[in-house]
Amino acid sequence: MTRRWASDASASSPLRPPGDGECQYCGSTPAEHVAYQSMVSAVILYWVGTMQGWMCGMCGLAVFRQQTSRTLIGCWWGVGVVGAPIILVANRMRLRRTLRLDPPRPTPGVAGQVAAPLDPGRSVLRRPRTLLCIAAAVVGIPVIGLLVLIVIGTVGG
């Protein structure tokens, strides 16, 4: 996809980038300034990613689902499993504001990064990779805990 900004537009069609109150992705209104976070971890390291800015209801839902899926897939592999519930709850609370917005309407003269609002895709719990990772965590965490208890029992006595 090609971004069209005001500097790229010809004199006959003066397009400008989205401003405050307009979706940073599609340029539609109404939009809410929100931030959605994700967490990925590996053993003792973790990374928190944030996508923030003005988003219409559809783009906000798409970003929420993307960040939530990333967290559900990536948090189980380390210390992120401790902080992930906090991020998931905070994102869900932020989504409530976004879902209260009226349906997005294109803003004349504004060229967003995409021509139409982002497609939110499938619900988070209907995405195969998310379900696979949750199932692996549900099975894997007790197995790892059992192995740790066996090793502690063997070393200690």
Is residue 4 pLDDT above 60, yes or no?
no
74 domain residue, yes or no:
yes
Q: Write out the residue range of the structural domain in which residue 102 sits.
A: 32-121
47 domain residue, yes or no:
yes
Cis peptide before 108 (omega within 30 of 0): no
Number of domains in the chain: 1
Output the CA–CA distances (angstroms, integers) from residue 44 to 14, 67, 78, 95, 96, in the order listed. 51, 21, 6, 29, 32
pTM: 0.76
Please, which pLDDT band fits residue 5 given cuts at 50, 70 and 90? very low
Is residue 22 pLDDT above 70, yes or no?
yes
Is residue 9 pLDDT above 50, yes or no?
no
Q: What pLDDT is stored for residue 13 in this prediction? A: 64
12 domain residue, yes or no:
no
Query: What Rg value do the Cα atoms of the chain yield, rounded?
Result: 21
Question: For residue range 54-76, what is the model confidence (pLDDT) as tens digits?
Answer: 999 999 999 999 999 999 888 87
132 domain residue, yes or no:
no
141 domain residue, yes or no:
no
Please, which pLDDT band fits residue 156 given cuts at 50, 70 and 90? low
91 domain residue, yes or no:
yes
25 domain residue, yes or no:
no
Question: For residue range 100-149, what is the model confidence (pLDDT) as tens digits?
Answer: 999 999 999 998 899 889 999 888 888 888 788 777 777 777 877 788 88
The type of residue at 107 is T
63 domain residue, yes or no:
yes
Distance between start and end Cα atoms, the chain: 63
Question: For residue range 74-106, what is the model confidence (pLDDT) as tens digits?
Answer: 887 788 888 889 999 999 999 999 999 999 999
Q: What pLDDT is stored for residue 101 in this prediction? A: 94
Rounded Cα gap, residues 108 and 105, in angstroms: 9
